[in-house]
Amino acid sequence: MVEVLYFAWVRERIGLAREQVETEAKTVADLVAELSAREPRYEAAFADTSALRVALDQELSEFSDPLAGVREVAFFPPMTGG
Amino acid sequence: MKISVQSAPFDFAAETASFGQGRDDVGAVVTFTGVVRDDSGDLEALELEHYPGMTEAAIGKITEQAMARWQLADALVIHRHGRLAVGEPIMMVATAARHRVAAFEAAEFLMDYLKSRAPFWKKEHMRSGTAWVAAKEADEDALNRW
């Protein structure tokens, strides 16, 4: 079970800020594929992962990274701070 | 070192007055303030979303790097979130060092990293609608110089 968080337009497109996901996904990319297969709104949000960033337990990570031991996954567009 | 992520306005004058005080080895203090600007003439407000927890951790890590690399005496980052009107300060950075080159460089480093590595997202509320601000390639490229 992982906590999945969505921010900015990813949150708006999916219509949720966070949810708990029961998954056996080995990597972030596997999780993205599982979520995308759920419903069109997920598919739309994850259509182009090159436009997205991912954080694992609040550390910026890669889509190829493993999910083993991870409690929190966050998807968001490139950051625009400052 | 002080880091604050807050929705409330901050008092730039008070923060600056107390920053780097009480140390005899500070010869240079640099401050930077980011302000909401309106390029289109149509902006009503800027909304900043962030990732509570990760935001503080990411800014802390970036600031610790700056402290070590430029041997800063002190560093301060205040970054706001929520809905901000045109002309309101969004954030401020202050650095204190022995010499000005270190203070200026560290402040620029902090700004470059906050732009692309602190989990904030800006949404423009215009009279004609809303739009998420896209990240600029130039901001990502700016990290390469460090």
The chain A residue lying nearest B132, using CA atoms, is A9
Q: What is the pLDDT of residue B20?
A: 86
Q: Calculate the CA B122 to chain-centre distance.
A: 14
pLDDT tens, position by position, B37-65: 998 899 999 999 999 999 999 999 999 99
Four-CA torsion A15, A17, A20, A24, nearest 10 degrees: 70
Cβ separation of A82 and B34 shorter than 8 Å?
A: yes
User: Domain spanning A2-76: which CATH class is it, in words?
Assistant: alpha beta
B91 band by pLDDT with thresholds 50, 70 and 90: very high
Q: What percent of chain B has pLDDT over 70?
A: 100
Alpha-carbon distances, residue B116 vs A16, B52, B119, B120 (angstroms): 24, 16, 8, 9
B56's enclosing H/E stretch is: helix B54-69
- Shortest distance between the Cα of B36 and any Cα of chain A, in A, equals 10
- The more confidently predicted of residues B78 and B23 is B78
Q: Which residue has the tokens 């297969």?
A: A37
Q: Where are the domains of chain B?
A: 2-145
Q: Does the pLDDT at position B22 exceed 90?
A: no
Handedness of CA B91, A75, B141, B65 (dihedral sign): positive
Q: Domain B2-145: give its CATH architecture.
A: Alpha-Beta Complex (3.90)
Q: Is B115 on the interface with A (CB under 8 A)?
A: yes
Contacts of B98 (CB under 8 A, 6+ apart): B25, B26, B27, B28, B71, B73
Rounded mean pLDDT of A43-49? 96
Nearest by CB to residue B54, choosing from A55, A77, A82, is: A55
Per-residue pLDDT, averaged over B76-101, amounts to 97
Nearest by CB to residue B116, choosing from A58, A76, A79, is A79
User: Which residue of chain A has the CA closest to B79?
Assistant: A82
- pLDDT bucket at B115, cuts 50 / 70 / 90: very high
pLDDT tens profile A6-33: 999 999 999 999 999 999 999 999 999 9
Query: pLDDT band for position B99 (50/70/90)?
Result: very high
More confident residue, A55 or B20: A55
Each domain of chain A, given as residue ranges in start order, spans 2-76
A78 to chain B, any CB pair closer than 8 A? The answer is yes
Task: Tell me whether B134 touches chain A (CB under 8 Å).
Answer: yes
